[in-house]
Amino acid sequence: MSEKLKIKLPILVEGKYDKIKLDSILDATVLTTGGFAVFNSEEKKALIRRLCRDGVIVLCDSDGAGNMIRAFIGNLVPKDKIVNLYIPQIAGKERRKKVGSKAGTLGVEGMEADLLRNLFSDYLDKSAAPLAKMTKADFYELGLSGGEGAAARRDALAVAFDLPRGMSANALLCALSLLSDPSEVRAAAAKLAK
């Protein structure tokens, strides 16, 4: 098995199966738009604006829907901060699907791992040491999930990091793992508890 490629910029894909595919070959923060759900989700739009303001790699399917999502992301993030990567249009359907896409081509999840590695080869983070990341256990310990008042504490912490209120524990965990290290989050949570 090949070593995972370390990519510094966050990567934005359409769906969870695209994320699973990239997570198998990349050491990177991979976010999903939820397909067209991003158009109506204020939380998702705010999260993308905040997490991607220093740059983002967008990898959508090479079809009409993928192009619409790319264009929408171009309205959320400054265009000079977006790196658009494109997969080739290869006829076929993914194994998990009973029916292929409307375009009749494979999406990101259907691409060969080596093809995807080649797409990302120019964006390797050669200087990166593995970052310490928050875990779900850390969130539980800090009272940010699984207990009474956890949602209110998450909202206060989100505001402290210039993120939208109402984020789920998983979404906030993902955002904070990209924006800060665990010691900063612990310090902010302790300050809010006073």
Give, for 46, the enclosing helix (H) or strand (E).
Answer: helix 42-51
Q: Supply the pLDDT for residue 20.
A: 94
Q: Supply the pLDDT for residue 93.
A: 81
Q: Supply the pLDDT for residue 46.
A: 86
The dihedral built from the CA positions of residue 70, 83, 119 and 117, taken in this order, carries a sign that is negative
> Is the domain defined by 5-123 classed in CATH 3.40.190.290?
no
Beta strands in 76-139 (DSSP E): 82-86
Residue 130 has what DSSP assignment? P
Mean local confidence (pLDDT), 23-43: 91
Q: Supply the pLDDT for residue 174.
A: 77
Please say if the pLDDT value at position 33 is more than 90.
yes
Mean local confidence (pLDDT), 101-122: 88
Please say if the pLDDT value at position 47 is more than 60.
yes
Please say if the pLDDT value at position 151 is more than 60.
yes
Q: Render pLDDT for 49-61 as a digit per residue (tens, 0 to 9).
A: 888 888 999 999 9
Nearest to 72 by CA among 99, 92, 97, 52: 52
pTM: 0.73
Q: Supply the pLDDT for residue 163.
A: 80
Summary mean pLDDT of the chain = 87
Neighbours of 18 (CB within 10 A): 25
Neighbours of 45 (CB within 10 A): 18
Please say if the pLDDT value at position 177 is more than 70.
yes
Q: Supply the pLDDT for residue 120.
A: 93
Percent of the chain exceeding pLDDT 70 equals 95
193 pLDDT band, cuts 50/70/90, is confident
Mean local confidence (pLDDT), 118-129: 78
Alpha carbon of residue 17 to chain centroid: 12
What ranges do the domains of the chain cover?
Answer: 5-123, 136-193
Q: Supply the pLDDT for residue 58.
A: 95
Q: Supply the pLDDT for residue 112.
A: 93
Q: Supply the pLDDT for residue 130.
A: 53
CB 82 within 8 A of CB 64: no
